[in-house]
Amino acid sequence: MARLTTSALASGSPQRPASWGAPAIWLLLCCASITLASTAGCRTEPLANQATENAPPPPDARRELKRLIGEYGADDDWVTVYEADGQLFADGLGLHHAHLRPTATTQFSTDDGSTVQRLRFELQAQGQATAVEVGGKRLPERDVGKEVVERIQSGAETHLDQLRPAALAAAPPSEPPPRRAADLVDLSTVDPAIKLDIRYASSNNFMGFPLYERPAAYMQRPAAEALGRVAHSLARKGYGLLIHDAYRPWFVTKMFWDATPPAAHIYVADPSQGSRHNRGCAVDLTLYDLKSGQPVEMTGRYDEMSRRSFADYVGGTSRQRWFRDLLRTSMESEGFSVYPQEWWHFDYKDWSDYAIGNRTFSELQSH
């Protein structure tokens, strides 16, 4: 996606906007350190959810549990409720992966060390949890990612008649000559199980308006061939790859930056540095079921600006984490590495060999 792409890592830790969000939102960014080497310190593995070579995915969580799963709280008081092995657990607010034992339909208790905590969920008319009371403290259910997107869109510059021409007229940052010449390949030609859902060619994205002139996905040939091998391997397990974004012309990165309110610049890549998307060596993707054609359910939405986007986020369900792990292990087996703050974003190992690209999709189509 646009925010904090791997190229932005070079600038060091981003600064927290004084007027933006609660401290918990900032912790989403600070927990995953800005260097890839430090990600091990953020790993918060839930109970067994590793995707193995031949094992099927675990069953989905029961509805009576799934309706309670989520993020609850405000400011520094947060608790994550998640499912593992058919049981509910809570993490945060003094609890550490604590098993929740049901005492009534919407009431639970836990013995977390020497402390017994009682949890009581509030449900809406449709049965979905809207809040949880923990030790007498009421915590509302939160969709932080949706809140952040609403903030960005409320202040976004949407005058596309000015935004695009200005970005096209600008020049990418100067760099030394690349070690390899660009050789972008249309991903739709690589493997029939690779499908496209290019969000930035529609209004279904965090900006709320189209930024690409047409839906397309390109990667440098070695990366595209590696992605084809991933697709072939996953097809044997019954899954395909659904691409949300790949090569991104530099001018679009500048459009992200120019259209985003300055207070939200921590969420988008700095065009003065470019991004690995610009080099044709990054891809945003998920899995879909080959039989149904439907995307699998992950721990969070694509482009969601919340802790649920972390590659090692503890929450969600065993099944969601299993699919997230399957995607990650499949990609890593072919030379890709996950961006620790976005489960869907993968960089190919040879990204530094290529220059920042700025050719439009129309130019690539006519080539």
Bridge partners, 295 (sequence order): 288
Q: How far apart are CA 225 and CA 213, in angstroms?
A: 25
- Residue 327 pLDDT > 50: yes
Residue 216 has a CB neighbour count (10 Å cut-off) of 21
Per-residue pLDDT band for 22 (boundaries 50, 70, 90) equals very low
Q: What are 164's two structure tokens?
A: 């695009």
Q: How far apart are CA 71 and CA 315, in angstroms?
A: 8
Q: Which residues contact 158 (CB under 8 A, 6 or more apart)?
A: 208, 209, 259
Q: What are 99's two structure tokens?
A: 């098993």
HSE-CB of 70 using CA atoms within 13 angstroms: 20
Q: What is the pTM of this model?
A: 0.85
Contact (CB, 8 A) for 58 and 320 = no
Average pLDDT in the chain: 86
User: Cα angle vertex 321, ends 319, 323, to 5°?
Assistant: 70
Q: What is the pLDDT of residue 5?
A: 37
Q: How far apart are CA 292 and CA 289, in angstroms?
A: 6
- Residue 28 pLDDT > 70: no
Per-residue pLDDT band for 52 (boundaries 50, 70, 90) equals low
The residue whose two tokens read 């985003």 is 260
* Mean pLDDT (whole number) for 29-53: 39
Residue 67 has a CB neighbour count (10 Å cut-off) of 17
Bridge partners, 242 (sequence order): 195, 286
* Mean pLDDT (whole number) for 107-122: 84
Burial environment of residue 230 by CB neighbours within 10 A (0 to 12, 13 to 18, 19 or more): buried
- Of residues 35 and 342, more confidence is placed in 342
Per-residue pLDDT band for 94 (boundaries 50, 70, 90) equals confident
Q: What are 159's two structure tokens?
A: 């005058």
Q: What is the pLDDT of residue 301?
A: 96
Q: What is the pLDDT of residue 21?
A: 41
Helix intervals (H) in 67-143? none
Q: What is the pLDDT of residue 35?
A: 31
Q: How far apart are CA 210 and CA 217, in angstroms?
A: 15
Q: How distant is the alpha carbon of residue 360 from its chain centre?
A: 25
Contact (CB, 8 A) for 266 and 225 = no
H/E element, 209:
none
Question: Which of 354, 332, 333, 353 has its CA nearest to residue 39?
Answer: 332
* Residue 25 DSSP SS3: helix
Q: How far apart are CA 104 and CA 120, in angstroms?
A: 9
Q: How far apart are CA 87 and CA 318, in angstroms?
A: 10
Q: What is the pLDDT of residue 151?
A: 87
